[in-house]
Amino acid sequence: MRTADAQVCTRALNGYLQDTATTDLGRLATLRSEPVLVEQMLVALARSTASEVSQATLRRDIARVLPTPSEATVSKLLELLQRVFVVEAVTPWATALRSKAKLRRSNAYHLADPALAAAALGADAARLTRDLETLGFLFESAVIHDLLVYAEAVGGRVHRYRDSNGHEIDAVITMPDGSCAAVEVKLGGGQVSAGAARLAQAVAQIDAPPPAFRAVITGTGFTATLPDGTLTFPLEALRP
């Protein structure tokens, strides 16, 4: 796949999504839903990649093109898509706040590979170059994918943090010993300082021991330790 041209890769990714909708889920459960509903669920999840999204939001998104499925149907499809490892749910981090803000409780959903999300959206390289917002969400999904792999290998977990005052942490890595790390994701190196400041503000109002480290992971940035101790490095540096 890495040496194949764009059209071959796109056909392979679309074929994988189609097989998931027409075959894979049916091996786990008897579905009353048509494959087209599963396909539209995948599109809805791709559209919400790296964002908190409720089942109600997914139902409304699907209803743009199909009759609105029941809550039970949406819940069942989410469960099955996770069981076949096509979708990964990143749960909110439960912690105490120093402020009166409320924690937001919705999951964020990621397709197993951001390339699948791009395929579901019909977003090729040219389109993503013009749509940096979507590219940013897909890049965040790529970072979360890699963090999940490395964290789970050492017994850790990855969560996200959002509160009603607008503070957010893209990834909170928690370890069995109770330690944690806080990660902000930025597409470009020019956003590192703003990302580090935003990360520090979010951490400061959480009633918990300080994270073992704070990091801003970028797509095109540099590797350095910032004056406040925050690490920053490009995603390609995240390797064993």
Which helix (H) or strand (E) segment holds residue 225: the answer is strand 224-225
Q: Token pair of 134, please?
A: 């979507």
Strand order, beta sheet including 168-174: 157-162, 168-174, 180-186, 213-218, 231-234, 224-225
Residue 6 has a pLDDT of 79
For the segment 172-231, what is each residue's pLDDT rounded down to a tens digit?
999 999 999 999 999 999 999 999 999 999 999 998 889 999 999 999 889 999 999 999
Tell me the percentage of the chain whose pLDDT exceeds 70. Answer: 98
Residue 146 has a pLDDT of 95
E strand residue ranges, 146-189: 157-162, 168-174, 180-186
Does 33 score more than 70 pLDDT?
yes
Pairwise CA distance, residues 180 & 209, whole Å: 9
Report the predicted TM-score, pTM, of the whole model to 2 decimal places.
0.89
Pairwise CA distance, residues 41 & 44, whole Å: 5
| Domains in the chain with CATH codes | 6-237 (1.10.10.10)
Of 128, 157, 151, which is closest to residue 219 (Cα–Cα)? 128
Q: At what angle do helices 132-153 and 114-121 cross, to 10 degrees?
A: 150
DSSP-assigned beta bridge partners for residue 89: 109
Q: For the beta carbon of residue 55, count every other beta carbon within 10 angstroms.
A: 17
Does 31 score more than 80 pLDDT?
no
Per-residue b or e along 93-102, where b marks 16 or more CB atoms closer than 10 Å to that residue's CB: beeebeeeee
Residue 2 binned pLDDT confidence (cut-offs 50, 70, 90): low
Pairwise CA distance, residues 184 & 170, whole Å: 5
Residue 229 has a pLDDT of 96
What's the alpha-carbon Rg for the chain, to the nearest Å? 19
Pairwise CA distance, residues 163 & 160, whole Å: 10
Residue 3 binned pLDDT confidence (cut-offs 50, 70, 90): low
Highest averaged pLDDT of the listed ranges 29-33, 161-165, 195-199? 195-199
**154: Cβ contacts below 8 Å, ≥ 6 apart:** 175
Of 178, 181, 177, which is closest to residue 150 (Cα–Cα)? 181
